[in-house]
């Protein structure tokens, strides 16, 4: 994840500092860490957020304290990406976002250890039939991602039954994750995170920030933080975020690294809409991203 980026000036010192904040060796995890190490959500979450924030810094889009509001930029994240989004909107500092992410990751890892659970993507099928099948097996629609993708989460036996007998015209893809995120299985993590945010003094967003809860723009920093806590056990409605961005008339979208999944969803959901979508995957993509930011809407 990090190797290509470490050639940029200041990258190594940034990730060492981020690792100190997160109490994890992010440099090693992001370069030589194996699949088993990266699967640990306690370290994956701060690594992902730190990586996104470093690249945001390279693009010059981390707001300065007291920066004037901008309405020509729309920001959203997916799940843990909402902490990156909160920093890009000026609600949290980059340091606060990394520290809170690390606490979130550790709390969710502890919740995952209590009961074996998992997640599976359901691709295609009739939306109503998909949701009915998920409910029938005692699972939860943890992510409503748009583009015909719903992520089911819950007990492993329920996920196995879903894969064995999927809804008509649907394909089931088990996900390599530690547990059933965004469900009641994460209740202990939500409690832990609620205690962690008490000392924060969030600023109100200086850029339009869309919430995973319902795709609406949130103008209160306190409400953003409240939703960062509640989303641990609530479904991610990325479909609603995509719908809001389309309604707002965005002309270009940049997905910060590790990039690809959300850009793919947007491309399928907005097919033919004429929106340029860039998955910023390597340093070679930075110049095009800067050009798009120069004319962002």
Signed CA dihedral, 249, 267, 291, 59: sign only: positive
Q: On the CB side of 58, how many CA atoms lie within 13 Å of its CA?
A: 25
Q: Decide: 236 and 214 in contact? Cβ < 8 Å.
A: no
User: Prior bond to 283 cis, omega within 30?
Assistant: no
Q: Decide: 118 and 139 in contact? Cβ < 8 Å.
A: no
Q: Decide: 90 and 206 in contact? Cβ < 8 Å.
A: yes
Distance in angstroms (rounded) separating the CA atoms of residues 268 and 31: 31
Q: Where are the alpha helices (DSSP H) in 171-275?
A: 187-196, 221-230, 238-248, 261-269
Tokens (6 digits) for 178 = 């530690």
For the question of residue 79 being annotated catalytic, the response is: yes
Q: What is the DSSP letter of 165?
A: S
Distance in angstroms (rounded) separating the CA atoms of residues 27 and 47: 9
Q: From the candidates 78, 120, 140, 182, which is the catalytic residue?
A: 182
Q: Decide: 127 and 255 in contact? Cβ < 8 Å.
A: no
Angle at 90 between CA 84 and CA 93, to 5 degrees: 65
Length in residues, the chain: 297
Closest-CA residue to 22 (of 113, 100, 107, 110): 100
Q: From the candidates 52, 79, 120, 140, which is the catalytic residue?
A: 79
For the question of residue 182 being annotated catalytic, the response is: yes
Residues belonging to the active site: 79, 182
């Amino acid at each position: 994840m990090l190797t290509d980026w470490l050639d940029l000036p200041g990258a190594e010192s940034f990730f060492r500092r981020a690792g100190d904040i997160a109490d994890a060796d992010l440099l090693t995890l992001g370069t030589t860490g194996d699949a088993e190490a990266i699967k640990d959500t306690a370290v994956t979450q701060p690594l992902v957020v730190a990586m996104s924030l470093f690249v945001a810094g390279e693009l010059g889009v981390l707001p300065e304290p007291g920066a004037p509001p901008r309405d020509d930029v729309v920001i959203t994240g997916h799940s843990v990406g909402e902490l990156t989004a909160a920093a890009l909107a000026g609600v949290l500092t980059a340091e606060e976002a990394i520290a809170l992410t690390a606490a979130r990751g550790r709390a969710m890892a502890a919740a995952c250890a209590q009961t074996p659970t998992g997640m599976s993507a359901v691709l295609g099928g009739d939306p109503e039939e998909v949701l009915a099948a998920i409910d029938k097996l005692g699972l939860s629609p943890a992510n409503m991602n748009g583009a015909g993708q719903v992520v089911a989460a819950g007990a492993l036996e329920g996920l196995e039954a879903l894969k064995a007998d999927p809804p008509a015209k649907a394909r089931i893809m088990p996900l390599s994750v530690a547990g059933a995120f965004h469900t009641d299985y994460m209740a202990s993590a939500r409690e832990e995170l609620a205690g962690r945010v008490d000392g924060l003094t969030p600023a109100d967003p200086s850029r339009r920030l869309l919430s995973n809860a319902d795709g609406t723009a949130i103008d209160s920093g306190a409400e953003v933080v409240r939703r960062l806590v509640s989303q641990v056990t609530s479904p991610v409605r990325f479909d609603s975020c995509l719908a809001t961005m389309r309604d707002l008339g965005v002309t270009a979208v940049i997905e910060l690294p590790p990039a690809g999944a959300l850009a793919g969803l947007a491309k399928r959901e907005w097919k033919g809409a004429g929106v340029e979508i860039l998955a910023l995957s390597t340093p070679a993509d930075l110049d095009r991203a800067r050009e798009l930011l120069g004319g962002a809407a």
